[in-house]
Amino acid sequence: DLQANTAFERALARTAKGDYGEAGHELRRVLRDVEEGGESMQEALRRAAERVDSLLVKRAYMQLAFAYEHGAPGAEGLRRLADEMIGLQAAKARQYSARMTFFGLLFVSVSCILPAFFSAYVIVGSAFLQLTLSPNDILLAFCVLFPLADLAILLYLREKTPKILLGGK
């Protein structure tokens, strides 16, 4: 939008109206500071950068302020920053994929192999080792313990999934 001769404020307003979560809320605040508070666009963007903790978001606001001051030539920094963010997201997706391999094997082990070994241990243990597990103990292991272990693995994976792979939610 910055090179299509669209007014900077209109481009920000259009973005602020979109469903971008915190970013949209913050851009609406920037526009309100400019329109109602009488601040300059550069100052409102700099204040927005001060309110966030993320270094990438701070850089994005500073690049927006630079692009506002310098016009279309200043937008090149935004493109580089966007490319860098896309690269970081791709790296997180690759890292998650590698982690998924391990946890996929762990899930299969906890779901199938561990219960099979437990069954074999109970059978052999009760026949030769005089292991005494009650039927309730065995039922508890299969109906509660193993499913809880599976659930713990799935919840961990859900927590560690990059937001970009969840559709930005």
Please tell me the least confidently modeled range out of 123-127, 153-157, 165-169: 165-169
pLDDT of residue 5: 39
Residue 90 has pLDDT above 90, yes or no: no
What's residue 1's pLDDT?
A: 43
Answer yes or no: is pLDDT of 3 > 70: no
In angstroms, the CA 161 to CA 138 distance is 34
Q: Tokens 């971008």: give the residue.
A: 20
How far separated are the first and last CA of the chain, in Å rounded?
A: 25
Instruction: Calculate mean pLDDT across residues 17-23.
Output: 82
* Residue 111 CB-density burial (10 A; 0-12 exposed, 13-18 middle, 19+ buried): middle
pLDDT above 90 as % of the chain: 26
pLDDT at position 107 is: 94
Residue with token string 């069954």: 119
* Residue 61, Cβ density class (10 Å: 0-12 exposed, 13-18 middle, ≥19 buried): buried
Residue 72: predicted pLDDT: 66
- pLDDT per residue as tens digits for the range 55-84: 888 988 888 888 888 776 767 777 888 898
| Contact criterion met (CB below 8 Å) for 157 and 103 | yes
